[in-house]
Amino acid sequence: MEEASSEGSIPSTRPREKLSKEAEKKTNYTPLKGKLSRRDLLKVAAASAGGLALRKYLTEQERSNELTERYSDPLANVIQAIKRQFPEAADWRADSPKWSGAIKKGFAKAGLSTSAENTGVVLTIINALSGFREDPPVFGELPIIRENHLSLLKKQWTGGPMEVNYQFVMDLESISEEEALKRLSSIDDGVYYGIAMLKKISVYYQNIPDEARRLECIFADWNAGEGRSVRAGLQAAVAELSKLPVNNTGLLLLEDVESKKIPVVEAIMTFPDAFGLSREQILTDLNEPTDNIRTTATWQAVESKLGHQIEPVPADLQVPGLIGKLKNLFYNEGTSLGFARNRLQEYKVIRKIMKT
């Protein structure tokens, strides 16, 4: 048993006395001479801590210098301010002029107006979903539920700085899944496809006069799927007319877990003569794409009963399983509506930054 040093209970460290001179010369290793006391160890620890503190200080200085840098490009300066405002989300090392260039090119290529609202939405989405990181990953989002059966799951792969669904890119460009994922991996293409998706989503909600409702529908669609807030509007209208519970998921053919029935269809069937529509006709109509669903007999019958046009409402689709619970616990984003509300608050902050 080694004896304690005179300055405490930490045993001394003795050099290996038989280390050959050849080994010393070869390795440039010089053995310690004498004992290493507690005080010596504390000095080493202090020096190490000082080094860590210095590195932390230099990192903070580097971060401060980066975030206070000003550019001739106004949009790059807005991105700088966003990085300062959202330090937990945004990557402070991100090249603001590079991101500004990608956003401008994306708007031009997609043919979408660079209005304050559109620019604010794009900045909000990028900040929230990638934090302006240089190499945003392509990854799989959580599976979402098919409309016609709860137990069947459909994986929605997304990627890039704005988490665009790869299927959207495949359909837009008529390319393979592999090529779509590859394109989404680049900043320029990833931003462009995000802006192209925003252009398509915005068409559904451009006539909503209330800005907050309009933006909530756009953000909800970003999370739940394109056009879901249009379809959720039908669910809300049917619930209002029938006084029956119908959740605004935007998935019109989603079955109830317990009854195995489709709530919106069952609610429509309670109306006198069900508007003269058969169950099969209603199911066929509700399965129509969002671009066509407003012209169906079912949609128009509900509007006639309602007395005015069906208005979109933000889709409130729950993220299934444990991940949904964790998202709700930590971010209050367990549903597409929660996601939309959080993005709306961030959008308001970013719009203020844009005005300064």
Tens digit of each residue's pLDDT (9 = 90 or more) over 70-129:
999 999 999 999 999 999 888 888 899 999 999 999 999 999 999 999 999 999 999 999
Least confident piece of the model among 66-70, 173-177, 263-267: 66-70
Within a domain: 82 = no
Segment 324-342 shows an average pLDDT of 79
Least confident piece of the model among 22-26, 43-47, 103-107, 260-264: 22-26
The verdict on 7 and 58 lying in the same domain is yes
Are 78 and 123 in contact by the 8 Å Cβ rule? The answer is yes
Within a domain: 80 = no
Residue whose C-alpha is closest to residue 76's, from 56, 94, 55? 94
Among the candidates 53, 68, 83, a domain finishes at 68
Within a domain: 278 = yes
CA distances from 110 to 83, 164, 167, 192 (A): 26, 14, 17, 7
Structure tokens that stand for 82 in this block = 């966003």
Of 2-16, 62-76, 135-149, 285-299, the range with the highest mean pLDDT is 285-299
**Residue that has been written with the tokens 């592999």 in this structure:** 178
CA 163 – CA 183 distance, rounded (Å): 12
Report pLDDT for 92.
83
Structure confidence by residue, pLDDT tens digits, 211-252: 999 999 999 999 999 999 999 999 999 999 999 999 999 999
CATH number at residue 173: 1.10.530
The verdict on 217 and 342 lying in the same domain is yes
The verdict on 235 and 345 lying in the same domain is no
